[in-house]
Amino acid sequence: MDLLTIVQILDSTLRLATPLLLACLAGLFSERAGIFDIGLEGKMLAAAFFSAATAAITGSVWLGLLAGIASSILLSLLHGLASITFRGNQLISGVAINFLAAGMTVLIAQDWFSQGGRTPSLIGRGRFEQITLPFADAVESTPIIGPIYAELLSGHTILVYVSLLAVPLTWWILFRTRFGLRLRAVGEAPEAVDTAGVSVVGLRYAAVMICGVLCGIAGAYLATGLQAGFVKDMTAGRGYIALAALIFAKWRPWYALYACLLFGFLQAIALRYQNIDLGVFVIPVQVMDALPYILTVVILAGFVGKAIPPRAGGEAYVKER
């Protein structure tokens, strides 16, 4: 395997890790505030459709991004309404949102475009363009550093860089601001936050909204950055892989980056090679597909460090009277 192959695989790792990372950070905000969210998948899917549809109709990918974020926030509010206001089961609400998005996107796509549940292919300004970092062309011929800079780091859409920047930003918000402290507290001991006179409901809604924004960007990236348009069920379980990455990372931002890069790497490998022949035995492609889930179960089982979720996660807060 030469350097160019390695760089190409890592390059596709970065592309594939981006939607995972955005969705994973989305889940991080929500779950740190005590709201379980298995509806990441549905929110991404809705955002993917509405961003692609808006971009196809208006020809502007930025309007598409906004529409994607708006649709994702709308589903977040539904999740908030069910799980915060009406204290319903957060998991069931998440399942409902996933199905709602899976059905509605195809229904609306068929109604608007009549192309069998997909949007027209996006061209030109309907997609996010690849950004060439400064001097990328100049250094490309330099050995080792050249291809790494020009191939791996340069030439991605802006959302890839946004997702990478979102990691330190998330860390800073959660661990260095008053809002972040309160948000984490509301996921661990909401009664303490309430006693201090801060609104539990307000904080949880804020967390759920941030989750919506990030899922929206993730979905928009899928349909307008990674691919050129929406197709039915295009998230293909990415929301669940992001959830797995979140557990793998034990609800911490930097580890979320590493986990998503790892799972993105597995996807990149599975995409490039069908079966991996190690000489002694062959690793079938299905093992690569299943590996993120198997690793998550192993982590959850506590064999490799214990994953402890936020203490008040999944429970509605009832004010004492």
∠ CA 123-159-286, rounded to 5°: 85
- 25 or 241: whose CB is closer to other proteins? 241
- Looking from the CA of 234 toward its CB, the CA atoms found within 13 Å total 30
- 169 or 282: whose CB is closer to other proteins? 282
Sign of CA dihedral 280, 284, 288, 290: negative
Closest distance between other proteins and the C-beta of residue 96, in Å?
A: 4
Closest distance between other proteins and the C-beta of residue 301, in Å?
A: 5
DSSP for 34-75 reads: T-----HHHHHHHHHHHHHHHHHHHS-HHHHHHHHHHHHHHH
- Tokens representing 146 are 């050249």
Length of the chain: 321
- 86 or 273: whose CB is closer to other proteins? 86
Closest distance between other proteins and the C-beta of residue 29, in Å?
A: 18
Burial class (CB in 10 A: 0-12, 13-18, 19+), 51: buried
Closest distance between other proteins and the C-beta of residue 136, in Å?
A: 37
163, 24 Cβ separation under 8 angstroms: no
- 193 or 244: whose CB is closer to other proteins? 244
- List CB contacts of 296: < 8 A, sequence separation 6 or more: 244, 247, 248
Backbone angles phi, psi at 131, to 5 degrees: -95, 125
Q: Tell how far CA 311 is from the center of its chain.
A: 23
Look up tokens 């490799």; give the residue: 304
- 97 or 203: whose CB is closer to other proteins? 97
Closest distance between other proteins and the C-beta of residue 54, in Å?
A: 18
- 28 or 166: whose CB is closer to other proteins? 28
- 38 or 231: whose CB is closer to other proteins? 38
**Residue 95 neighbours by CB distance under 10 Å:** 15
Burial class (CB in 10 A: 0-12, 13-18, 19+), 223: buried
DSSP for 248-303 reads: HTTT-HHHHHHHHHHHHHHHHHHHH-SSEE-SS-EE-HHHHHHHHHHHHHHHHTTS
Closest distance between other proteins and the C-beta of residue 146, in Å?
A: 38
Closest distance between other proteins and the C-beta of residue 251, in Å?
A: 13
Footprint of other proteins on this chain (CB under 8 A)? 38, 78, 81-83, 86-93, 95-100, 102-104, 106-108, 110-111, 114, 117, 237, 240, 243-244, 247, 284, 286-287, 289-290, 293-294, 296-297, 300-302, 307, 309
- 147 or 219: whose CB is closer to other proteins? 219
Closest distance between other proteins and the C-beta of residue 88, in Å?
A: 4
